[in-house]
């Protein structure tokens, strides 16, 4: 079968660190980058005889994600022990949820490659993170070949968000992750910081004959440290599986690792070597009960979600859907935009244009997500107001923006001080036009001889004569009048 006769089937599992102050089952603080083993206690160190207590805020944050994705929150869910041995897991099991997760159902709407798709969620469950094994040290010579364990991360609260196998391309998978990251940040459940490991993703990939209804043998890919890696790994894995099937080879269900250097995946363990975790309900923790009152309380505190907000920006402010979506890249950015519109309600479209093309271009990705803006919303509003009322030209405004960012001074003060007020009076513009025409008889003759393209050159000359402050509309009109005369 040629490649085009196969279709990929993808399901994603995303681990997402919840933004709580303390850990999942003890009072230790959740910290990143602290000296090793300084944020630990007998509970998260796994000492015998200690008792875990579930963190209420952890459950609340998970409920926010569940509500944001349209999941059903179960009244009763159960913490289970997932048993395995590893040096970063001293108590020999991870507390997770297994057959009774916190939330089920729900979906995320993904737009990719020109189509819209509902990616169904299978479940959202709670679990705790393990510690971290460290294999490299600055004092390498003393510890060559040794590994140490840092248990600061042990017991950090996570949710795992599992999709149904509804995705059918690497591009869709990437878009899903981008949307989900925006959502967990939007509802303040997670900082969504991939570099610090707040988001971790496993991709399950299979292929099957196009239009088939039976799922193919799946491969789970681990070690995906960025969204770009997820995309690359899926692309590579689809190619590998299709090539194997075309060569008449059977695929085996296995776990593979992505190797960033080669862009390929490599066998880690096969199904036969899969671990049996011997899940059972954790006897130290009672059932997790979420009553109606708690659900209502969490629902009442939910913000307007990104899609609804973008739709409102379109209907209330007349923004094109694509612009509204960009303005809703993050909640702080959408808040910024709305504050600017409140300060200058007459031109929401221009405010969006300035925000998207001028401000965001001057910002880092991290600043965009955090909404760390270079000028206050009122400053952007004042700048656009002065363009709208004809005080300054758009071109001058762009130059002015650089000064506004550098000095933080009021727009009107800078306009006055720098003599930037636009010249709209016909008198001085007419004088400048006359002088340019008189000084350049050869160009005038060329223009009148049919070289209409030379018009732009005249505009440039007149603008230069007016130190760049001429009102472009008036300059164009008077210049055309003068050139078309006789």
Q: Residues 6 or more apart from 204 whose CB is under 8 A from it?
A: 10, 11, 12, 13, 165, 218, 219, 220, 221
In angstroms, give the least distance from the CB of 203 to ligand ADP. 8
Q: Cα(118)–Cα(121) distance, rounded to whole angstroms?
A: 9
HEC string of 12-69 equals EEEEEECCCCECCCCCCECCCCCCCCCCCCCCCCCCCCCCCCCCHHHHHHHHHHHHHC
Q: Of ligand ADP, Zn ion, none, which one does residue 162 interact with (CB within 5 to 8 Å by kind)?
A: ligand ADP
In angstroms, give the least distance from the CB of 9 to ligand ADP. 4
Residue closer to ligand ADP (CB basis): 9 or 326: 9
Q: Residues 6 or more apart from 354 whose CB is under 8 A from it?
A: 380, 383, 384
- Binding-site member from 152, 206, 393, 422 for ligand ADP (CB under 6 A): 206
Phi, psi angles (nearest 5°) of residue 293:
-60, -40
Closest CA to 200 of 412, 15, 407, 37: 15
In angstroms, give the least distance from the CB of 8 to ligand ADP. 8
**Residues in region 287-316 near ligand ADP by CB under 6 A:** none
CA distances from 329 to 182, 314, 366 (A): 7, 15, 12
Residue 75 CB neighbours (<10 A): 13
In angstroms, give the least distance from the CB of 211 to ligand ADP. 16
Q: Cα(7)–Cα(239) distance, rounded to whole angstroms?
A: 11
Nearest residue to ligand ADP, by Cβ distance, number only? 11
Q: Cα(116)–Cα(104) distance, rounded to whole angstroms?
A: 22
26 binds Zn ion (CB under 5 A): yes
Q: Of Zn ion, ligand ADP, none, which one does residue 163 interact with (CB within 5 to 8 Å by kind)?
A: ligand ADP
Q: Cα(116)–Cα(175) distance, rounded to whole angstroms?
A: 11
In angstroms, give the least distance from the CB of 16 to ligand ADP. 14
In angstroms, give the least distance from the CB of 215 to ligand ADP. 3
30 binds ligand ADP (CB under 6 A): no
Compose the 41-80 pattern: x for residues touching Zn ion by CB under 5 A, - for all others.
Answer: x-xx------------------------------------
Closest CA to 10 of 117, 114, 85, 100: 117
Residue closer to ligand ADP (CB basis): 234 or 333: 234
- Binding-site member from 34, 51, 146, 215 for ligand ADP (CB under 6 A): 215
End-to-end Cα separation, the chain, in angstroms: 74
Beta bridge partners of 347: none
Pull the structure tokens for residue 213: 């209804």
Q: Of ligand ADP, Zn ion, none, which one does residue 44 interact with (CB within 5 to 8 Å by kind)?
A: Zn ion
- Binding-site member from 69, 154, 169, 204 for ligand ADP (CB under 6 A): 204
CA distances from 64 to 58, 60, 107, 177, 205 (A): 10, 6, 14, 17, 29
**Residues in region 232-291 near ligand ADP by CB under 6 A:** none
Q: Of Zn ion, ligand ADP, none, which one does residue 379 interact with (CB within 5 to 8 Å by kind)?
A: none
Residue closer to ligand ADP (CB basis): 274 or 287: 274
**Residues in region 1-20 near ligand ADP by CB under 6 A:** 9-13
> Residues binding Zn ion: what is the number (CB under 5 A)?
5
348 binds ligand ADP (CB under 6 A): no
CA 430 to chain centroid: 52
106 binds ligand ADP (CB under 6 A): no
28 binds Zn ion (CB under 5 A): yes
In angstroms, give the least distance from the CB of 251 to ligand ADP. 10
Residue closer to ligand ADP (CB basis): 27 or 243: 243
Q: Which residue has the tokens 């690792």?
A: 257
> Residues binding ligand ADP: what is the number (CB under 6 A)?
15
**Residues in region 164-193 near ligand ADP by CB under 6 A:** 164-165
Give 185-251 as a DSSP string: HHTTS----TTTTSEEEEEEEEEEETT--S----EEEEEE-SHHHHHHHHHHHHHHHHHHHHTTPPP
Q: Which positions touch ligand ADP (CB under 6 A)?
A: 9-13, 162-165, 204-206, 215-216, 218
Q: Which positions touch Zn ion (CB under 5 A)?
A: 26, 28, 41, 43-44
């Amino acid at each position: 079968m040629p490649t085009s006769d196969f279709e990929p089937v993808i399901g994603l599992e995303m681990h997402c660190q919840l933004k709580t102050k303390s850990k999942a089952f003890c009072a230790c603080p959740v910290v990143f980058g602290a000296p090793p083993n300084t944020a630990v206690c007998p509970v998260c160190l796994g000492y015998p005889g200690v008792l875990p207590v579930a963190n209420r805020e952890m459950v609340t944050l998970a409920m926010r994600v569940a509500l944001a994705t349209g999941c059903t929150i179960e009244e009763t869910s159960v913490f289970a022990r997932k048993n395995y041995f590893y040096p970063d897991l001293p108590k020999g099991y991870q507390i997770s949820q297994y057959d009774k997760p916190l939330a089920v159902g729900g979906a995320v709407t993904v737009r990719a490659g020109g189509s819209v798709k509902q990616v169904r969620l299978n479940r959202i469950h709670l679990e705790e993170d393990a510690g971290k094994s460290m294999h490299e040290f600055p004092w390498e010579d003393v510890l060559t070949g040794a590994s140490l364990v840092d248990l600061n991360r042990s017991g950090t609260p996570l949710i795992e968000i599992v999709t149904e196998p509804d995705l059918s391309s690497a591009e869709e998978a990437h878009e899903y992750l981008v949307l989900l990251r925006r959502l967990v940040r939007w509802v303040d459940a997670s900082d969504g910081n991939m570099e610090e490991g707040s988001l971790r993703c496993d991709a399950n990939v299979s292929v099957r004959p196009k239009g088939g209804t039976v799922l193919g043998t799946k491969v789970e890919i681990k070690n995906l440290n960025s969204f770009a890696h997820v995309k690359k790994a899926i692309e590579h894995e689809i190619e590998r599986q299709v090539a194997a099937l075309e060569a008449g080879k059977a695929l085996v269900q296995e776990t593979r690792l992505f190797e960033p250097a080669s862009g390929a995946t490599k066998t880690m363990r096969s199904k036969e070597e899969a671990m049996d975790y011997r899940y059972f309900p954790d006897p130290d923790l009672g059932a997790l009960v979420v009553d109606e009152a708690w659900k209502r309380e969490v629902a009442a505190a939910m913000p307007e979600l990104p899609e609804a907000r973008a739709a409102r920006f379109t209907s209330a402010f007349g923004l094109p859907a694509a612009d509204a979506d960009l303005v809703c890249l993050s909640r702080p950015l959408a808040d910024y935009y709305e504050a600017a519109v409140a300060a200058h309600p007459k031109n929401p479209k221009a405010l969006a244009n300035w925000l998207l093309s001028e401000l965001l271009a001057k910002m880092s990705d991290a600043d965009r997500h955090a909404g760390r803006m270079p000028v206050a919303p009122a400053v952007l509003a004042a700048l656009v107001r002065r363009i709208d009322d004809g005080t300054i030209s758009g071109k001058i405004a762009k130059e002015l923006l650089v000064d506004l960012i550098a000095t933080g001074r009021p727009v009107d003060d800078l306009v006055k001080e720098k003599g930037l007020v636009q010249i709209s009076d016909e008198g001085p513009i007419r004088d400048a036009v006359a002088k340019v025409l008189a000084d350049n008889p050869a160009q005038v003759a060329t223009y009148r001889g049919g070289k209409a393209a030379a018009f732009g050159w005249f505009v440039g000359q007149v603008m230069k004569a007016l130190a760049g402050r001429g009102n472009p509309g008036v300059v164009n009109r008077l210049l055309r009048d003068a050139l078309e005369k006789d």
